Structure formats: structure tokens, C-alpha cells
Amino acid sequence: MSHRYLFLLCCFFTLPFLAASPVAVCESYVNVAVPYAGCTADIQVQDIDRGSYDRSCDVVAKWVTGGLNLAPGLHTVTLNVWACGVTNQCWSTVLVEDKTNPVVTCHNQTIYLVAPDQPFTLNVDNMATFTDNCEVTEELSFTVNDGSRFGSDPFTARGTDAAGNRAECTGTVTTVDAEPQNYCSNNRNDYYEHIANLTLTTSSGTVHHSSGSNGGYNWHYPTTGNVLYHGFNYTLNYTPGFRFSTTYHEYWRVYLDANADGDFTDSGELLHQWHGYGGNSFTFRVPGNTWGWSRIRVVMGYGSYPGPCGSGYGETEDISVYLRRYFSFPMPGFQAINEAQDSREAADHDMALPITEDRPVEAVLAGEASRRNIPEPLPGSHPSATSLRLYPNPVRAGEQLTITGQPVGNQMQLFNLTGKILQTYAGPASRLTIPDHLPAGIYLLRGDGWSRRVVVR
């Protein structure tokens, strides 16, 4: 008898469509900080994966979507998990924070004045440097000099970013007496006659000094630069005034303290003398090679030529001036100008830039343009409004430059460093567009009574 056996073999297998999905497990809330050198964060898998898995297969791939270049704030980021041909996802709330403090560096300022109460302006862009990985809000606060003394006063610069991180620094603004103070007295009797007007034409422009009877003496110090270059010619006009209808025959002498030693008695310091009725004008060439503040003394006397010191009928008026040598900065293709050449020739040379010994060429290129077209600022000050701000600066060609605190004015002009006008803007305006064809470099923006450096990158 034979037996027949039937064996039933059963094979079990799992079809792909019956496979279990991988399990994506996310951190529900993640807090990350932007890096020190940037203002955005990139979220990686390890930042939000809390142990994603698959029971049937090995997890082959994990990746994040929506996690690149995240600015500070709340974001939703997706974790993708792939295994056995199936993808699953989970989501995590990510808070990106800026935890880096701004960096604020103060730069002490020294302002050279000829009198404690002489008005001056500060270029606030030079007083502090603000940097941050994100945008920073800048703030300056001052303790203001009372105008009756030379000395130092503090200022504080603070920076706050959008996340509330703060930093600050302190610096000083020091006003320094820049002029000799040992000039002799020449207080005359001006009851009958006085100096009514002085007009000095300098490299900074024409400055009118009008006054009446001032008790026998008056001192004019500039609110803008009275700059005189050695070897150049300048013109001074003077006019008398009289208390009554009678005019008198007056004797005039004009002195310049050419070596800035506090007197007018050295050889060559008597620039001019004349006598007659009414006023007169004369042209003088600045002698010597002294660099710094000095004075012109105009003395009007009755009866005989007056000396720089003493008394008598008439009046004395002093004008503070800044003496300096003139150098040319030769650009490629141009020859240097000898400093002994006439001022007119130097003014007609487009590439001649005044350079001081205590400022390198880079500082001149950054702060001054041609003497012919853009007047030089008073040494130690800046012809700009105290609250005037330009940003961003540096700025890219074609971008907009924002201006805050601009004084009232009819227009603004953008110059290159040879004094050529590149663009004229109607003003006052809060924004202007830098021409898109400008190459990278340093330019000057001028408004009504102010000028500022603009760096195009």
C-alpha cells in the first residue's frame, strides 16, 4: 500500500503597496541662532529630526524643505523621510533669533577753532562706526560745549539691532585753541570814524565782514574757512564809516602775521598802506611758509599812519585766516604744478588737489575736490548739517541713497574729485539714485551749505 502525501508550501511575501510607511518624527519646537557673520540660518536634518524610522526597511534618505536662508522670526520647516519607495513628512516650528550684539566703535574728534564760541559742525558719520550681522539702528548723544571755553566734551554712540541687542561706546569732542593769543591791544577811539566793511576774497570764496562802531576794536573769525595759500594772490577791500555827515581823511595799514608768532612786527608783515577819503582795495601775495591759524590786522587811523599796536582816533579790526602751503597732486598724464606758480594757473588745472602734511593723499581724495570747483572746508570741521545722515554709504551704482536731516536747499549735485558735476538732483529730497554708470570710487554730494563724501562700490 502506498501512501501519497500532499505537501502544501506557502510562501509569504510583502507587496510594495502593502508596505508600512516610514515614520517621520520632528521636534515640535526648535530654537536656532543666526551665525555671527550672517543674518540668516540654514536648518539641517539633525536640527529637527527626533528619530524618524521605518519598521520594514532601512531609512534611505532624509532631507529638509523650506529651511534655507531663514531670517529672524518664526518659520515652519518640513522634514522628509524616504524608505522602501515611500516618503513621509513631519513639520517643526523653528524660531530663528539674532543673538549677536552690534559692534560700536567711537572715534574721538578734535576741532581747531579760533575762538571758543566759534560755530562748527560735526560730521557724525566720522564719529562712530556701527557694524552688525543684521541691520543696526544708530544713535548719537552729546554733551554740548557751552561755547565759553576750549576743552573736551563726551559723546555716546549706541547701536540697537532689530532683535534688541545693544552696544555702545563713548568718545570725546575736543575744541582746541588754534590761534596765537598774544596779539597786542589796539583799541582806538571810534566815536567819529570806524571801519564799516572789510571784504576778503580767499580760496574759500569771498567773505564780507560788515560792522559798525565797535568800541574801537572788532575781531572776525570765520564760520567757513578763510584759507590763504602761500605764494598766491588775494584781494582785500576796506571801507570807512562815519558817525556824522562829515568825512575825514583816513590813514590805513594792513598787516598779516605771516609766521603766526602773535605779532605784526616781522619783516614783510606790513602788507599795505594808503591814505585818503573813502575806501580802497589792494591785492597781496601771502609771504612765508607757516602752516596754521593767524590774523590779518586792518588799522584805520586819523592824522598819520597807525602801527599795529596802540591807540588813537579810528578803529582796528582783525580777521582770522588759515595759512598753508599749496601742493598739487599730479594725476597720470599730468605734470605737477610748482607751488610758486600763480594762483590763477593752479585754479585752472583740473587735477590740482590741495594736500596737507598731516593728511595723506587718501584723506584728501576722500574729503576734498578741486580748489577751482569745490571750496575747501574749514580745517577741523565739516560744511554739513549736524544731523545730516546718508545711508547706505558705501552704496552701489544704480541704488538709492537715503538722506535724513537735510537742511532746506534748492538742489543737490554729485561731483567727482576733479570737480565735474555728474548729476544734479532737485532738493530737498529724502532719496536720490546714484547713476548706474558710475565706477567704484569716492565722490562728493553737495547741497545748500553742506557736502558729504559718497563711496560707490
Higher pLDDT, 60 or 347: 60
**Which CATH entry fits the domain spanning 19-97: 3.30.56.10, 2.60.120.650, 2.60.40.10, 3.40.30.10?**
2.60.40.10
The answer on pLDDT for 356 being more than 80 is: no
Q: Where are the domain boundaries for CATH 2.60.40.10 in the chain?
A: 19-97, 103-177
The answer on pLDDT for 325 being more than 50 is: yes
pLDDT of residue 72: 94
Higher pLDDT, 58 or 167: 167
Mean pLDDT of 429-450: 81
pLDDT of residue 327: 57
Higher pLDDT, 332 or 316: 316
pLDDT of residue 264: 95
The answer on pLDDT for 255 being more than 80 is: yes
Higher pLDDT, 338 or 255: 255
Q: Where are the domain boundaries for CATH 2.60.40.1930 in the chain?
A: 193-324
The answer on pLDDT for 177 being more than 50 is: yes
Q: Read off the pLDDT of residues 76-93 as tens digits, 9 standing for 90 and up.
A: 999 999 998 899 999 999
Q: Read off the pLDDT of residues 215-240 as tens digits, 9 standing for 90 and up.
A: 899 988 875 568 888 888 999 999 99
pLDDT of residue 281: 95
Higher pLDDT, 48 or 230: 48
The answer on pLDDT for 320 being more than 50 is: yes
The whole-model pTM stands at 0.51
Average pLDDT, the chain: 79
Q: Read off the pLDDT of residues 377-428 as tens digits, 9 standing for 90 and up.
A: 333 333 334 467 777 877 888 888 888 775 555 688 888 866 678 888 886 6
The answer on pLDDT for 41 being more than 50 is: yes
Task: Domain 103-177: give its CATH superfamily.
Answer: Immunoglobulins (2.60.40.10)
The answer on pLDDT for 42 being more than 80 is: yes
Fold (CATH) for 373-456: Immunoglobulin-like (2.60.40)
8 A C-beta contact, residue 54 and residue 22: yes
> What is the band of 203 on the pLDDT scale with cuts at 50, 70, 90?
low
Cell of 325: 602751503
Q: Could you tell me which CATH number the domain at 193-324 has?
A: 2.60.40.1930
pLDDT of residue 363: 35
